[in-house]
Amino acid sequence: MSGPLLLVLGMLVVTLAGGIWVGVALMSIGVVALEAFRDMRVDRFLASDIWSSSTAVELITLPLFILMGELLFHTRLSENLFRGLSPWTRRLPGRLVHVNVMGCTLFAAVSGSSAATTATVGRITLQELLARGYDKRLAVGSLAGAGTLGFLIPPSIPMIVYGVVADVSILELFIAGLVPGLLLAALFMGWIAFRAWRDPTLVPPMEPAIPRAEALKALGNLVPIVFLITFVMGSLYFGFASITEAAAIGVLGALLVALAQRTLSWMGLWQALLGTVRTCSMIGLILVGALFLSKAMARLGLPADVANQIEAWGLHPYMLIFVLLLFYLALGCVLDGLSAIVMTLPVTLPLAVAAGFDPIWYGVFLIITIEMAQITPPVGFNLFVIQGLTKDGIFRIAAWAWPFCVIMMVFTVLITLFPEIVTFLPHSTRG
């Protein structure tokens, strides 16, 4: 192993394990490596890089989609979702548990965050499911699993970050996430149905039927979210708006829903803005650190070194993806997904591309691995969110969510064998 590589890996382990803030750690490794191995003005390089990264035009959708999510937290969408969807799950084995998955799928189509999806959908569904006597393991586990769809179904905050770091089209990533997201939701529902069919005690006795007319009327509750999805994602898919425009329309749409439902006060609006600042600051520091480190590593020729080394092992492309999957699963246990992606991408993306994988496909693959990272202990943001709702320990919640994690692993095998699941839609829109 070369000197620079040893230094970078060693510093990564020491600074991260020592609890240094991720963005600060990444930046410092870049600075030290350049100072040690390159004769250059590192201060000038760092300053100009911070400036150009933080004014990158590709990032403009980030604060907008985050603000949209914050505003939606101040609406009654979660109640709406539960009321609108629950009458329609009677015939499915597992009944109301499916509302978790369906609600998360719909909410994911207006939210770029999996923690926000879990929190928004879960604060109503969990309460209702547990009060009606549904099995806690299935109710909590399915929420944890389905909540992660917030990353895969567009809009998606990590996809924006991936697009910026990997320099690929964010719009194509968004389009690529749609079919895998819906398929994964279908697999989750299949598992819930299977569990409820094998063990009927997981579900309470049937409640009296709801008249068709009332069930249809309940669908009216879904109007706000359907309005938002058509308004935002519709304008994107059908090419009426660029991604920046769609994000701005999304903020407007969320504001309109909140105003129509009379749930947003001036104080709430200010809280939403501050929440946006908090999340943007957090992502901004990590992103600036990661972009600087990746440029520093490129100047030291590290990604090529590592790629050559691993290529020399002569791994089959499937084997490579399998190794990467294990690597990200292990990383996801101790790191949040976003940090894991940005700090490893400069090395793993060239590897995947050299092995013949499409960068868009690799982005979706990584998004699924960080979805798993959201529900693997001891560090998993969805686990923390659910802990806030149910007060259970995170290892217990993670154990309940484990089957859904396994489904996602199986799903990565599926998209590796049939990459068209991911690439078909974005390639067809390329024309």
Partner 1 sequence: MLAALLRVIDTLCAIGAGVAALSAAALALILIGEVAVTSFFNWSQPWAIEYAIYLQCFVLFCGAGWTLRQGGHIRVAVLMQALPASAARLLDMVGTVFAIGMIGFASWALWQQLIRTYGFGSTSFYPMGTPIWIPQGMLTLGVTLLLLAFIARLLRLAIGQPADATAGVTGGGVE
Q: Show contacts with partner 1 in window 17-76 (CB under 8 A).
A: 17-24, 27-28, 31, 43-44, 46-48, 50-51, 54-55, 57, 59-60, 62-64, 66-67, 69-70, 73
Instruction: Rank residues 161 and 349 by Cβ distance to partner 1 and give the closer one.
Output: 161
The half-sphere exposure of 367 on its side-chain side, counting CA atoms within 13 A, is 35
What's the CA gap between 328 and 371, in Å, rounded?
11
The only residue of 3, 200, 220, 378 in contact with partner 1, by rule CB under 8 A: 378
Q: Which letter does DSSP use for residue 356 in this model?
A: T
The only residue of 8, 99, 115, 218 in contact with partner 1, by rule CB under 8 A: 115
Q: Tell me which residue of 182, 57, 88, 76 sits closest to 120, measured CA to CA.
A: 76
Told to check if 284 binds partner 1 by CB under 8 A, we report yes
Instruction: Rank residues 27 and 320 by Cβ distance to partner 1 and give the closer one.
Output: 27
Asked if residues 289 and 339 have their Cβ atoms less than 8 Å apart, the reply is no
> Which residues lie closer than 8 Å to 396 by C-beta, 6 or more apart?
none
The only residue of 138, 307, 389, 397 in contact with partner 1, by rule CB under 8 A: 389
Distance of closest approach, residue 268 Cβ to partner 1, in angstroms: 13
Instruction: Rank residues 274 and 304 by Cβ distance to partner 1 and give the closer one.
Output: 274
Instruction: Rank residues 297 and 370 by Cβ distance to partner 1 and give the closer one.
Output: 370
Stretch that binds partner 1, among 224-232, 280-288, 352-360, 423-431 (CB under 8 A): 280-288
What's the CA gap between 261 and 339, in Å, rounded?
36
Told to check if 171 binds partner 1 by CB under 8 A, we report no
Distance separating the N- and C-terminal Cα atoms of the chain: 44
The only residue of 338, 352, 367, 425 in contact with partner 1, by rule CB under 8 A: 338
Give exposure, 204-213, as e/b (b: 16+ Cβ within 10 Å).
Answer: eeeeeeeeee
The only residue of 209, 274, 298, 326 in contact with partner 1, by rule CB under 8 A: 274
Instruction: Rank residues 241 and 296 by Cβ distance to partner 1 and give the closer one.
Output: 241
User: What value, to the nearest 5°, has the Cα angle with vertex 339 and ends 356 and 113?
Assistant: 95
Told to check if 97 binds partner 1 by CB under 8 A, we report no
Instruction: Rank residues 79 and 311 by Cβ distance to partner 1 and give the closer one.
Output: 79
Distance of closest approach, residue 56 Cβ to partner 1, in angstroms: 8
Distance of closest approach, residue 219 Cβ to partner 1, in angstroms: 28
Stretch that binds partner 1, among 97-105, 258-266, 309-317, 332-340 (CB under 8 A): 332-340
Instruction: Rank residues 114 and 423 by Cβ distance to partner 1 and give the closer one.
Output: 114
User: What value, to the nearest 5°, has the Cα angle with vertex 160 and ends 375 and 261?
Assistant: 75
Q: Considering CB under 8 A, how many residues would be counted as binding partner 1?
A: 76
Instruction: Rank residues 60 and 193 by Cβ distance to partner 1 and give the closer one.
Output: 60
Asked if residues 132 and 96 have their Cβ atoms less than 8 Å apart, the reply is yes
Told to check if 331 binds partner 1 by CB under 8 A, we report no
Window 172 to 231, contacts with partner 1 (CB under 8 A): none
DSSP class per residue in 70-134? HHHHTSSHHHHHHHHHGGGGTTSTTTTHHHHHHHHHHHHTT-S-HHHHHHHHHHHHHHHHHHTT-
What's the CA gap between 17 and 214, in Å, rounded?
56
Task: Write down how long the chain is.
Answer: 431
Window 235 to 254, contacts with partner 1 (CB under 8 A): 241, 244-245, 247-249, 251-252
Stretch that binds partner 1, among 14-22, 140-148, 303-311, 408-416 (CB under 8 A): 14-22
Give residue for tokens 């590709």.
58
Give residue for tokens 């149910």.
390
What's the CA gap between 48 and 153, in Å, rounded?
34
The only residue of 4, 93, 275, 332 in contact with partner 1, by rule CB under 8 A: 275
What's the CA gap between 130 and 133, in Å, rounded?
5
Stretch that binds partner 1, among 162-170, 277-285, 309-317, 406-414 (CB under 8 A): 277-285
Window 355 to 374, contacts with partner 1 (CB under 8 A): none
Distance of closest approach, residue 410 Cβ to partner 1, in angstroms: 25
